[in-house]
Amino acid sequence: MPVYNYVVNYDYIVENLCENRDKPELSCNGKCFLAKELSNTEKQSTQTFVKVISLDIFVPNDIFSFDGGTEYIDSVQYITEYINLYHSRYIFTIFHPPLFS
């Protein structure tokens, strides 16, 4: 990033930040500032530590095994027709022929 900063802000660096701006015969043109910034960046990059966290997870294969459920499904007998074995006596008390005396 210091190189991009140097290119974009070249005029400002040459006029204000260059250490040798009073000595035009050296034709430094801000290269001293660029060298200083590059060395600072290099020091910061060597001091940066990357933390790597690894987590090992054990997943047994039998969790994903569904073979045990098929035996139960095969043994179930399906009822194909509906059988109503419930009879209510209450309905006969409501619906009946009229009583004649």
- pLDDT, tens digit, for every residue of 7-30? 777 788 778 878 877 887 877 888
Global pTM value:
0.41
Q: Are 37 and 5 in contact (CB under 8 A)?
A: yes
Q: What share of the chain is helix, strand, coil (3-state, %, to 5)?
A: 50, 0, 50
Mean of all residue pLDDT scores within the chain: 73
Kindly state the tokens that stand for 51: 């933390």
Other beta carbons within 10 Å of 85: 4
Q: 38: closest CA among 50, 26, 46, 28?
A: 46
